[in-house]
Amino acid sequence: MQMLTGIDQSDYSKIETGRRNMTFEQCRRIALALETSMDFLAGLTDDPTPYPRKP
Q: Total structural domains in the chain?
A: 1
Averaged pLDDT, 19-44: 94
Q: Which residues contact 42 (CB under 8 A, 6 or more apart)?
A: 27
Assigned domain for 16 exists? yes
In a domain, 47, yes or no: no
What mean pLDDT is reported for the chain?
Answer: 93
Region 27-48 average pLDDT: 94
Q: How high is the pLDDT of residue 54?
A: 85
Where in the sequence is the domain holding 18, given as residue range(s)? Answer: 2-41
46 domain residue, yes or no: no
Burial class (CB in 10 A: 0-12, 13-18, 19+), 39: middle
Is residue 20 assigned to a domain?
yes
